[in-house]
Amino acid sequence: MPRIDWRSLPLQIKQHLIQRLKDREITQGDLESLKMWIEANPDVPDGPWCKGFGSFKLAGEGKYPKTFLTKHQRCVGKNL
C-alpha cells in the first residue's frame, strides 16, 4: 500500500484550499482534520481514491493526491 507524496501536489492547489478557508467555504475543523490525517501518514490504495473531510473532499490516485473537491462534487475511486 503506498503512502501519499504531498510534495507532488501542486502549490496552487494547496493555496486554493487555504483560500477557501478564507472565503469560509471550508471550516476550520475540517482543515484541522485534514492536517491530522496527513500527519497520520495513512496508507492509500494503488488506484483512485477519495477522502471526505466534511466541507471538502480530497481525490487522489495511488500515492498522488490530485485535487480538492467541494462536498457536492462527485468523487471517483475507493472511499477512505
Output 28 or 79, the one with its CB closest to another protein: 28
Residue with cell 471517483: 76
Q: In the bound complex, what is the minimum distance in angstroms from residue 29's beta carbon to another protein?
A: 9
Q: Per the structure block, which three cell numbers stand in for 68?
A: 480538492
Output 41 or 72, the one with its CB closest to another protein: 41
Residue with cell 471550508: 26
Three-state secondary structure call for residue 31: helix
Three-state secondary structure call for residue 35: helix
Chain positions contacting another protein, by CB under 8 A: 3, 6-7, 9, 11, 14-15, 18-19, 21-22, 24, 28, 31-32, 34-35, 38-39, 41
